[in-house]
Amino acid sequence: MPVPEPEFRPELILGALNKHGVKFVLIGGFAAVIHGSPYVTTDLDVVPETSRANLERLSDALREIDARVWTSGEPDGLPFSHSAESLARAQIWNLVTRYGRLDISFQPSGTTGFADLVRDAVHLEILDSEVDVASLADVIRSKEAAGREKDRVVLPTLRRLLDATRGDS
């Protein structure tokens, strides 16, 4: 019988990242929800700044929230040892934590990574944490480039939200 994933507690994941001073941009479905998307998401997607010091802080935060490598065959996750160097060796980390799913991407589809996304990000307080949220245009750009079915489904709604913020009708 499959093990259920932990309850999604984004405020606790964001809180741990902030507590450790991790510089990141929030992307993906949660960023889309912040911009007004009605679609529910059950994970956080972040793009960290890639300096060694920031990746060390990220590694510390991941230890605090008991991050494990997520796979569909092991929804409870596989333990992994990590450091700034080992985190930088992969482009994407699909993780499960004691507070739910966390995906880390260093270069999301359609972007060149943190510097590209932080330029137009909106700095907000979300769930008691200071967070840089990718602009809606950048969320759309990344979802278009990814080309996944789950992204194609939400793109029309996201484009309408973007048009509404620009005053187009």
DSSP assignment of the chain equals -PPPPPP--HHHHHHHHHHTT--EEEEHHHHHHHTT------EEEEEE---HHHHHHHHHHHHHTT-EEEETTEEEEE-----HHHHHT-SEEEEEETTEEEEEESS-TTS--HHHHHTTPEEEEETTEEEEE--HHHHHHHHHHH--HHHHHHHHHHHHHHHHHHT--
Residue 138 CB neighbour total at 10 angstroms: 23
| Residue 64 pLDDT exceeds 80 | yes
Average pLDDT over residues 40-54: 96
Place of tokens 């605090």: 64
Model confidence at 4, pLDDT cuts 50, 70, 90, reads low
Model confidence at 2, pLDDT cuts 50, 70, 90, reads low
Mean pLDDT value across the chain: 93
At the topology level of CATH, where does 10-160 sit? Beta Polymerase; domain 2 (3.30.460)
The percentage of residues in the chain with a pLDDT greater than 70, rounded to a whole number, is 96
Average pLDDT over residues 122-146: 95
CA 13, CA 6: separation in Å to the nearest integer? 12
| Residue 169 pLDDT exceeds 50 | no
Query: What's the confidence (pLDDT) of residue 72?
Result: 86
Query: What's the confidence (pLDDT) of residue 1?
Result: 46
| Residue 166 pLDDT exceeds 90 | no
26 and 18 Cβ atoms separated by less than 8 Å: no
- Give the predicted TM-score (pTM) of the model: 0.92
Query: What's the confidence (pLDDT) of residue 167?
Result: 78
What's the pLDDT tens digit per position in 65-119? 999 999 988 878 999 999 999 999 999 999 999 999 999 999 999 999 999 999 9
| Residue 3 pLDDT exceeds 60 | no
| Residue 25 pLDDT exceeds 80 | yes
